[in-house]
């Protein structure tokens, strides 16, 4: 008897726990799914990190890493003049790469605003360029048919009322020093500033599709949802932009609707991320070379195959990829980033059917050797991405009876479903396996894709 009672009680408790999860609004799960449908479908976006840090060109955290004061950092503001800025060109590059949305840093941790905010003088309109660069981005990207995202840094290393914390350039060594440095700083004032600026961003630029707030770091000398008044901030944003999709860095994870998607950064998730036992929407953000802002001397650029794998692997686990560019202080996209985007675009032109609208393969489809699977539930097609091109025989483990037709995606050329060729294979192949006969020559595609039309 006891053996049965315990699991039942546990289930009830867990059910009650899930039921009792806090909420800020009253959107249903189905409504959330519909609100996020375009994003889940599109899978691939461009992150753009641009600010004063493009001038030192050695990481967007340079002010922090080198512990610069506002005065020392001022020279970048005085010289900021991206005379070649042409967001229509950026939009074109994003589009050609197959990206469907973009997220631009309207303000990064340094505190500098690319937009014309009425709550600060620390903005692009007061630099030599003298223009609202956010407005131009919105107009150009929207005109190109891309969805519009804003990144806004919760952290602010310039605002006089923002308290010094453990990730601040002027961070202290002792509690006493923190007290001394923060004397006279008032987070209440900063909170109002932050809210005012987010309201401007949510009001002055038309429909905004994504908001990326960055970031909370609870704990000693840290900042959490109380510092940002995250609950009120989120409510305001949802009210001003009802369709918007918001990331998960407001420190509101305890609310079921305190965030829309999770944001694994610069690493690969081992599997589809879950929260409270449920698979959740996710987007990994990744750089070409390590830093987010333009970094002239960085040499660790990922190659085309690595970048494509980031995208395909994300989709294979039900997620999105937000791939970053760090434009220069002239307003251009560095040649290495341009080349990378173009190579991705070359692949996407012929293979995007395995990305858009796709997700993790249904259970029951085992991943063949050296490959990644994606699946389109609407067309019922399965995509096998060949990471290491096989020699003629390719085994689909346990696929017998499940496949109607096989072809290469890039040229729609038929791939024969045949008995394996070669004596040993015949002996070893499992009765439920299916064998494809591939051409000896690897097609001229970085990662060839087999499209399987399923029964
Ligand atoms: C981190 C970094 C920041 C970057 C962001 C992108 O929070 O502080 O520089 O903008 O990640 O996800």
- With a 6 A CB cut-off, is 334 part of the ligand 1 pocket? no
pLDDT band (50, 70, 90) for residue 11 = very low
> Would you state the pLDDT for residue 49?
99
Q: What pLDDT, on a 0 to 100 scale, did the predictor assign at position 9?
A: 46
Q: Is 285 in the pocket of ligand 1 (CB under 6 A)?
A: yes
HEC profile of the chain: CHHHHHHHHHHHHHHHHHHCCECCCCCCHHHHHHHCHHHHHHCEEEEECCCHHHCCCECCCHHHHCCCCHHHHHHHHHHCCCCCCCHHHHHHHHHHHCCCEEEEEEECCCCCECCCCCCCCCEHHHCCCCCCHHHHHHHHHHHCCCEEEEEEECCCCCCCCCCCCCCCCCCCCCHHHHHHHHCCCCHHHHHHHHHHHHHHHHHCCCCCCEEEEECCECCCCCECHHHHCHHHHHHHHHHHCCCCEECCCCCCCCECCCCCCECCECCCCCCCCEECCEECCEEEEECCCCCCCCECCCCCCCCHHHHHHHHHHHHHCCCEEEEEECCCCCCCCCHHHHHHHHHHHHHHHHHHHHCCCCECCCCCCCCCCCEEEEEECCCCEEEEEECCCCCCEEEECCCCCCEEEEEECCCCCECEECCCCCHHHHHHCCCCCEEEECCCCCCCCCCCEEEEEEC
Q: Which atom of ligand 1 is nearest to the CA of 212?
A: 12
In tens, the pLDDT along 284-323 reads 999 999 999 999 999 999 999 999 999 999 999 999 999 9
Identify which has the larger pLDDT, 421 or 343: 343
Contact 196, 224 (CB under 8 A): no
Q: Which of 415, 403, 401, 402 lies closest to 443, judged by CA?
A: 415
For ligand 1, whether the C-beta of 292 sits within 6 Å is yes
C-beta of 110 in contact with ligand 1 (< 6 A): no
| Å from CA of 441 to ligand 1 middle | 42
Work out which ligand 1 atom sits closest to the CA atom of 155.
8
Rounded to an integer, the average pLDDT of 120-134 is 98
CA of 80 from ligand 1 middle (Å) equals 22
CA 249 to ligand 1: nearest atom: 7
Residue 15 has pLDDT above 60, yes or no: no
Does residue 60 line the site of ligand 1, with CB under 6 A? yes
Rounded to the nearest angstrom, the distance between the alpha carbon of 21 and the centre of ligand 1 is 28
Atom number of ligand 1 nearest to Cα 265:
12
Q: Is the CB of 50 under 6 A from ligand 1?
A: no
- Strand 147-153 to strand 245-246: parallel, antiparallel, or no bridges (unpaired)? unpaired
266 CA from centroid of ligand 1 (Å): 10
Mean pLDDT, rounded, for 71-76: 98
State how far the Cα of 210 lies from the Cα of 213, in Å rounded to an integer: 10
Which pLDDT does position 420 carry in this prediction?
77
Question: pLDDT tens digit string along 137-150?
Answer: 999 999 999 999 99
Distance of CA 305 from the midpoint of ligand 1 (Å): 24
CATH class of the domain defined by 6-354: alpha beta
For the segment 400-422, the average pLDDT, to the nearest whole number, is 94
Apex CA 154: angle with CA 153 and CA 157, to 5°? Answer: 80
Domain ranges of the chain: 6-354, 371-454
**Is 264 near ligand 1, meaning CB less than 6 Å away?**
no
Residue-wise pLDDT for 243-272, tens only, equals 999 999 999 999 999 999 999 999 999 999
Q: What is the pLDDT of residues 182-238, one digit of tens each?
A: 999 999 999 999 999 999 999 999 999 999 999 999 999 999 999 999 999 999 999
Q: Which fold has domain 371-454?
A: Immunoglobulin-like (2.60.40)
Mean per-residue pLDDT over the chain, rounded: 95
> How far away, in angstroms, is 60 Cα from ligand 1 center?
9
Of 317, 355, 379, 321, the residue nearest 447 (C-alpha): 355
pLDDT tens digits for range 18-63: 445 799 999 999 999 999 999 999 999 999 999 999 999 999 999 9
Whether 265 is in the pocket of ligand 1, judged by its Cβ within 6 Å, is yes
- The reply to whether ligand 1 has any atom less than 6 angstroms from the CB of 288 is no
What distance in Å separates the CA atoms of residue 342 and residue 95, rounded to the nearest whole number? 10
């Amino acid at each position: 008897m006891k053996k049965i009672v315990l699991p039942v009680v546990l289930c009830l408790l867990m059910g009650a726990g899930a039921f009792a999860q806090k909420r800020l609004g009253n959107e249903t799960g189905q409504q959330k799914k519909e609100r996020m449908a375009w994003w889940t479908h599109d899978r691939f976006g461009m992150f753009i990190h641009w600010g004063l840090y493009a001038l030192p060109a050695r990481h967007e955290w340079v002010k922090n890493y080198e512990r610069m004061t506002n005065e020392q950092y001022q020279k970048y503001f005085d010289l900021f003049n991206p005379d070649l800025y042409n967001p229509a060109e950026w939009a074109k590059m994003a589009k050609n790469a197959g990206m469907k949305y973009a997220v631009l840093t309207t303000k990064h941790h340094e505190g500098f605003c690319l937009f014309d905010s009425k709550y600060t003088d620390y903005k692009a309109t007061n630099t030599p360029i003298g223009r609202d660069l956010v407005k131009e981005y919105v107009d150009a990207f929207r005109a190109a048919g891309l969805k519009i995202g804003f990144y806004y840094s919760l952290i602010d290393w310039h605002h006089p009322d923002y308290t010094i914390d453990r990730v601040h350039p002027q961070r202290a060594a002792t509690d006493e020093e923190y007290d001394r440095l923060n004397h006279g700083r008032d987070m209440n004032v900063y909170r109002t500033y932050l809210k005012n600026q987010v309201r401007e961003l949510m009001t002055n630029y038309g429909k905004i599709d994504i908001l990326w707030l960055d970031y909370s770091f609870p704990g000693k000398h840290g900042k959490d949802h109380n510092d940002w008044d995250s609950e009120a901030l989120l409510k305001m944003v949802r009210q001003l932009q009802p369709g918007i999709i918001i990331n998960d860095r407001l420190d509101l994870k305890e609310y079921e609707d305190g965030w829309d998607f999770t944001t694994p950064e610069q690493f690969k998730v081992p599997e589809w991320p879950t929260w409270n036992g449920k698979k959740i929407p996710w987007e990994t953000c990744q750089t070409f070379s390590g830093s987010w802002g333009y970094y002239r001397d960085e040499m660790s650029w990922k190659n085309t195959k690595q970048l494509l794998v980031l995208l395909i692997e994300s989709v294979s686990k039900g997620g999105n990829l937000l791939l970053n560019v760090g434009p220069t202080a002239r307003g251009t996209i560095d040649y290495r980033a341009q080349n990378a985007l173009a190579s991705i675009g070359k692949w996407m032109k012929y293979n995007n059917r395995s990305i858009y609208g796709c997700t993790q393969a249904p259970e029951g489809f085992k991943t063949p050797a050296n490959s990644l699977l994606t699946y389109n539930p609407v067309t019922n097609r399965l995509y096998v991405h060949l990471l290491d091109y096989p020699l003629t025989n390719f085994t689909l483990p346990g696929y017998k009876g499940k496949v109607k037709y096989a072809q290469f995606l890039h040229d729609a050329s038929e791939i024969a479903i045949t008995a394996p060729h070669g004596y040993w294979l015949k002996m070893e192949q499992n009765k439920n396996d299916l064998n494809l006969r591939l051409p000896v020559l690897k097609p001229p595609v970085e990662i060839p894709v087999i499209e399987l039309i399923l029964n």
